[in-house]
Amino acid sequence: MPKPKPEKVEAAFFDVDNTLVRGSSTFLFGKAAFKKRFFSRKDLWNFAWHQARFIARGETAKTLNQIKDRALGLVANHRVEELSSLTDLVYDDYISPKLWPETVRLAKEHIAKGREVWLITAAPVEIANVIAQRLGLTGGLGTIVERKDGILTGKLVGKPLHGRAKYKAMKQLAEERNISLKRSYAYSDSYNDLPMLTHVGHPVAVNPDKVLKTHAKAAGWKILDFKKRELRANR
């Protein structure tokens, strides 16, 4: 008799920037890199400008490309070990204070219910992994920076995990780990993640931009807005 197929598992997929972390995790990485003298104060101010726009306007392809291109240029020609040594500093000093407590609680609730929880972000995979590890989540998927002979080249391996590329990464992971997307959850703030959100059974809009909020309302999706709650708490 043929062996019965293993039962599919459930998972929850979380975007990082403006969903789990307030603002751009890549910019926060940039601040840590500046502290370690990876680059100049002028470059840090340019990063700060993009971070302010990112928080005010939400995620756009143009803003992401600006942040990505600057970040890649700044890490080029550094050793892989230097990048790895930054991740703990990035989390402790910069990312941890910027975490949305409500989103962290949701992620940990999924873990408690036996689901896998994956972070999927356009930020470097090292950032996704350190956040997942520190929060006790299953793992992270992120953009991969090319390495040659232990040196970062400043080029990408494949595409940034953004838009349809993020969905493709989620789909491939689901196939590898026997995950049922129909029974799974996805959380994001951006309309750019509609390919990911529309392919799970339980999509949730978190701190949504205008386009995603409109789509979520029309589709009857759950909407969580922690930004408004934060504003009320600070009055």
Query: Minimal CA–CA distance to 221: which of 230, 200, 135, 233?
Result: 200
Half-sphere exposure of 132 (CA within 13 A, CB side): 24
Catalytic-labelled residue, pool 15, 189, 193, 209: 15
Tell me how far apart the alpha carbons of residues 159 and 155 are, in angstroms, rounded to a whole number: 10
| Homologous superfamily of 11-233 | HAD superfamily/HAD-like (3.40.50.1000)
Rounded distance, CA 31 to CA 206, Å?
A: 25
Average pLDDT of the chain is 80
* pLDDT confidence of residue 235: 34
Neighbours of 85 (CB within 10 A): 11
Over residues 174-194, the mean pLDDT reads 96
pLDDT value for 74: 56
DSSP state of 183: G
Asked if 17 is an active-site residue, the reply is yes
For residues 86 and 142, which has the higher predicted lDDT (pLDDT)?
A: 142
pLDDT of residue 234: 36
pLDDT, tens digit, for every residue of 209-226? 999 999 999 999 999 999
Compute the average pLDDT of residues 37-57.
49
